[in-house]
Amino acid sequence: MARALSPRRLWLTTAAAWFVALLIFFPVLWMILTSFKTEPSAVAMPPQFLSADWTLENYAEVWARSDYPRFFWNSVVIAVGSTLLGLVIAIPSAWAMAFVPGRKTKDLLMWMLSTKMMPAVAVMIPLYLIFQRLGLMDTKIGLVLVLMLMNLPIIIWMLYTYFKEIPGEILEASRMDGATLWGEIIHVLTPMALPGIASTMLLNIILAWNEAFWTIVLTTTRAAPLSAFIASFSAPQGLFYAKLSAASAMAILPILILGWFSQKQLVRGLTFGAVK
Amino acid sequence: MASTTEAATGRQGTEARPRARWTRNISAKIAAIPMIATALVVFVGGTIWTVVYSFTDSKLLPRLRWVGFDQYERLWSQNRWLISIENLMFYGVMSLVFTVTMGFILAVLMDQKIRFEDTFRTIMLYPFALSFIVTGLVWQWILNPQFGIQGVVRDMGWTSFSFDPLNNPQTVLYGLLIAGLWQGTGFVMCLMLAGLRGIDEDIWKAARVDGIPTWKTYVMVIIPMMRPVFITTLVIVASGIIRLYDLVVAMTSGGPGGNASQVPAMYVYDYMFQAQNLGQGFAASTMMLLSVLIVLIPWAYLEFGGKKHG
């Protein structure tokens, strides 16, 4: 955008860009390919592309050996649940900070953000003990709560940036027409900020989906999501690359697909609203 | 006549406004309460609790038997802790420098109308969307001496080729760094690209009219203008580095040689769950908190709090 390029240079840069993209994507691609190979073929030297023994057995075995649907369902509940709960708390707060800023609003926002920089281990034991006492260990509700808390600062920050771009006059006008405060937030602000909210949701679903630290600390079997599922495959069974690849592919595929079909939201979400 | 009406409405306005603002502020405060409450209870409450118990000799369970600074003395005499700190500093500086430079350079190259840009950016962001555990597994394999790069190159005939960073204490951090860069660079690139796109086209025109070379325009004009983007990037990347844990667990479990790639978060985790020495873990996590407080917060506060950027 900065400079107009000759068509030839444009093609060159495009080619270079795609080369970089391929390089970046290669490890993931390789993992997916490997997941369809037999174990000997997966570790064969030189690496096999076309001559490999293709099979679906890895998936069948991973499927049979562990309860994938349960892990998957746990991941969905935890990721979506924590995101929705976070939005319920964050939308009013972000509204307050964006449209009714006080003298302390900036400090408050900064403080919220700084909690995200805290090392999670600092609150690990207190949370662990609270969880034990309340019987929340290894429950989906517990993980929904924790991941909501961990991602709340980011949700609020992102919503705040999006809300700030909505002219306050529109809200004012709706209030003139007799909208109540909640009506204003739910019927005017939320629909207007929907693209931003969608990006925020997507980012948080991804963050919650990938969260490994808390899920490993706070779950054992019943509520364990897919991140714990991969971790369990990498440890005891030794290094079976093809099966490990299949397990990993099964864990990340939902995110890859979700990301592909919502590219705009993904880019905007993952860059924390910086891309408009 | 007209002026009296105006005066009347004006007075009415000034009368009504303080009340309106007061109620609005009330609703705003109510709206913010859930957020403040959760943040206070969990983060502030949990943090204070951790700090308090770091002065006790808690073992398997937390208990309030004071031992003063004993846990800290022990902490700083542990070789493993010192290595952890050193590793984190090295990894942190390297990964900050490299992700930011590489991300910026890529973004500059990208800052043209390339074809299928959305798709391209999505691909660049995929590593960031994958969990650290998957990143770790993939790279552990690529860097595996038998099945990864080294194996492939040796198989092609260069039998003396050696590339085995993860099994050498001297190079293990570089191995982690490669995986970390793979994960983070695309993300930084997208942030930087957004920043570049936000810069007014007129600046480029002006620079061209004045005959300033492109690289100089970038260094002298564009980068200073992109300060907020750089700050955001630094804060996000830095906060990720401090919490570095999953990647190390997935790739090296702290080894080779037991300690070569230890990081502070791992120290805390091990003392709390394996060694069952909570007090020591609390002391270590308090030190981590302290370092965040000292390094990140005042700096981020100045940058974000002082200006219009939220």
Rounded to an integer, the average pLDDT of A183-188 is 80
Burial class (CB in 10 A: 0-12, 13-18, 19+), A274: buried
**Mutation site, B81, B106, B134, B230, interface A, largest A CB count within 10 A:** B134
Residues of chain B with Cβ-Cβ distance to A13 below 8 Å are 109, 112, 114
pLDDT beyond 70 at B21? no
Instruction: Specify the DSSP class assigned to residue B277.
Output: -
B/e letters for B116-135, b = 16+ CB within 10 Å, e = fewer, are ebeebbbbbbbbbbbbbbbb
Q: Given this model, what pLDDT does residue B9 score? A: 40
Percent of chain B with pLDDT over 70: 85
Query: Does A233 contact B at CB distance below 8 Å?
Result: no
Half-sphere exposure of B215 (CA within 13 A, CB side): 1
Average pLDDT over residues B83-109: 89
Pull the structure tokens for residue A233: 């495959």
More confidently predicted of B176 and A49: B176
Q: Which of A59-68, A225-234, B15-24, B33-42 has the highest mean pLDDT?
A: A59-68
- Residue B263 in any domain: the answer is yes
Q: Best of B38, B43, B188 to disrupt the A interface by mutation (most A CBs within 10 Å)?
A: B43
Nearest Cβ partner for A248 among B115, B134, B243: B134
pLDDT tier, B301 (very low <50, low <70, confident <90, very high otherwise): low
Q: How far apart are CA A23 and CA A249, in angstroms?
A: 18
Where residue A234 falls among pLDDT bands split at 50, 70, 90?
low
Cβ B156–A46 below 8 Å, yes or no? yes
A137 touches chain B (CB under 8 A): no
Q: Does A263 touch chain B (CB under 8 A)?
A: yes
Which residue type sits at A1? M
Nearest chain B residue to A17 by CA: give it.
B110
Given an 8 Å threshold on Cβ–Cβ distance, is B120 in contact with A18?
A: yes
User: Given pLDDT bands bounded at 50, 70 and 90, which one contains residue B8?
Assistant: very low
pLDDT tens-place string over residues A101-152: 777 777 777 777 777 777 777 788 888 888 888 888 888 888 898 888 888 8
The total number of residues shown for chain B amounts to 310
Average pLDDT score over chain B: 78
CA nearest A93 in B: which residue? B32
The parent domain of residue B297 ranges over 78-304
Residue B246 resides in a domain: yes
Nearest to A106 among B272, B273, B310 (CB): B310
How far does the CA of residue B4 sit from the closest CA of chain A (Å)?
24
In angstroms, the CA A221 to CA A250 distance is: 18
In a domain, B54, yes or no: no
pTM of the model: 0.80
The residue among B51, B60, B141 with the most chain A CBs within 10 A of its CB, best to mutate, is B141
Q: B52 versus B259: which is more confidently predicted?
A: B52
Is B124 a domain residue? yes
Judged by CB atoms closer than 8 Å, whether chains meet at B133 and A231 is answered as yes
pLDDT band per the 50, 70, 90 thresholds, residue B238: confident
For residue A237, pLDDT beyond 50: no
Q: Please, is B219 exposed, middle or buried when counting C-beta atoms within 10 Å of its C-beta (0-12, 13-18, 19+)? A: exposed
The model's confidence at residue A273, banded by pLDDT at 50, 70 and 90, is low
Average pLDDT on A163-180 reads: 79
Segment A166-179 shows an average pLDDT of 79
Residue B158 inside a domain? The answer is: yes
pLDDT the model gives residue A77: 92
Q: How far is B112 from chain A (nearest CA, A)?
A: 4
Mean pLDDT of A187-198: 83
Residue B98: pLDDT band by 50, 70, 90 thresholds? very high
In chain A the domains, ranked by start, together with CATH numbers, are 67-270 (1.10.3720.10)
d(CA B69, CA B56): 9
d(CA A90, CA A45): 53
More confident residue, B3 or A101: A101
Q: Would the pLDDT of B6 be above 60?
A: no
Say how many domains are in chain B: 1
Mean per-residue pLDDT for B121-144?
81
Question: Per-residue pLDDT averaged across A23-49, rounded?
Answer: 81
- With pLDDT > 90 as the criterion, what percentage of chain A qualifies? 5
Residues of B whose CB is below 8 A from A236: none
Considering only residues A196 and A7, tell me which one the structure prediction assigns the higher pLDDT. A196
Say if A95 is an interface residue toward chain B (CB within 8 Å): yes
- The interface pTM score, or ipTM, of the predicted complex is 0.77
Q: Mind listing the pLDDT tens digit for each residue in A60-92?
A: 888 887 788 888 898 899 999 999 999 988 888
